[in-house]
Amino acid sequence: MMPDFDQSGLPQTKEWVPEAKAPVILLENVSKTYGRIHALTGITLALSGGVTGILGMNGAGKSTLFKILMGKIKPSSGQVRLFGTDPWKNPAPYARVGFVPEHEKMYDWMTAHDFISTFARLNGLTRDEAKIEADRVLDFVGLLDVAHKQIGRFSKGMRQRTKIAHALVNDPELIILDEPLQGCDPLARTTIMNVIRELGRMGRTVIVSSHILHEIERITEQIVILHYGRLLALGNLHAIREKLDNIPHRIDIGTNNPKQLAKSIIEIDSVHGIFFPKGDNLSIQTHNLGSFHSQLPKAIIESGQRVESIDNPDDDLESILGYLTGGGRM
């Protein structure tokens, strides 16, 4: 409860200049504990440029990590640097950062344009500049036509896009999105993913968290996996994937005529076995998921059968975590 007198977030008398050559994000052995609970343990991470997905189950420490990066909470130990500056002590780097919080609560009484232009002024824009900037970012996320409607009337996807637009004000170099796809319908998901990919192409450093592997996979290949507050894996999703591909995988296909479909599918090299658990369902085992997926569409067309669903129950975060931690379901 004691105030942290060490912190010196006074209004800056001189312009804040980011440290040259410093990585956008630098975490050195960062830990955060709440009493006995270890929310983060010894995270060391440096990121600059590109889109990075932070994967982890609920409670893995994704939001804690973001809050530390955003200077909302203080790490129990270790060093955090945003553009070379400690965000807990100095809010100046936020001029170059956009943050999309996970909280659903927004100012429902404001219009999207109002919300963004009001907060844009905290970036040091004047009233007029802020309005122009709000138009720009709302256009970027495709909400310009509803810019003057109240946020309270927005759908979940529109609210998320409004939050993203808010984070894009002042064209930040680093954009942090905490579960931006959660609760969105498929169309909104696609739009938001496109926006994130576009930001990556524009050369921004983007960090997206999610607990759903497919979502991250559609956005980026560069991932960080958090598990119980520890950094479990870091790198290219495909590299991790390949390792996974060589162990048996199950794929469930829903169809009217499973036996007809099975005839075509058995032709695929990588198929290891086929089972018929229910009347309108077939279950396939494969050693090489990538190869199987590339040949599956052709086999389905050849069989001429209607496929209602393709489900990949093993291909989720839990399986990867299970594999990486050496236990698990595989």
Is the CB of 129 or the CB of 316 nearer to other proteins? 129
Nearer to other proteins, 110 or 233 (CB): 110
207: left (phi over 0), alpha (psi -120 to 50) or beta: beta
Q: Taking the complex as a whole, how short is the minimal distance between the CB of residue 2 and other proteins, in angstroms?
A: 7
Q: By the criterion CB under 8 A, which residues form the site for other proteins?
A: 1-5, 7, 9-11, 16, 67, 70-74, 91-95, 97-99, 101, 103-107, 109-110, 118-119, 121-130, 132, 166-167
Rounded distance, CA 53 to CA 86, Å?
A: 23
Could you identify the residue written with the tokens 């310009």?
A: 144
Nearer to other proteins, 5 or 327 (CB): 5
Q: Which residues, including other chains, have CB under 8 Å from residue 198's CB and lie 6 or more apart?
A: 140
CB of 285 to other proteins, least distance (A): 44
**Closer Cβ to other proteins, 93 or 157, answer by number:** 93
Q: Minimum Å distance from CB 151 to other proteins?
A: 11
Shortest spacing between CB 59 and other proteins, in angstroms: 13
Distance, in Å, from the CA atom of 250 to the CA atom of 292, rounded to the nearest integer, reads 11
Block residue for tokens 């979502």: 215
Specify the residue, 48 or 90, whose C-beta has the smaller distance to other proteins: 90
Cβ-in-10-Å burial (0-12, 13-18, 19+) of 164 comes to: buried
CA distances to 67, 189, 211, 290, 311 from 216, in Å = 20, 11, 9, 17, 17
**Please, are residues 292 and 251 in contact by the beta-carbon 8 Å criterion?**
yes
Question: Smaller CB distance to other proteins: residue 101 or 258?
Answer: 101
At closest approach, how far in Å is the CB of 135 from other proteins?
Answer: 13
Closest distance between other proteins and the C-beta of residue 142, in Å? 21
CB of 19 to other proteins, least distance (A): 16
Q: Quick one: 115 or 292, whose CB is closer to other proteins?
A: 115
The angle, 0 to 180 degrees and rounded to 10, between the axes of the packed helices 289-303 and 258-265 is 120
Helix, strand or coil, per DSSP, at residue 181: coil
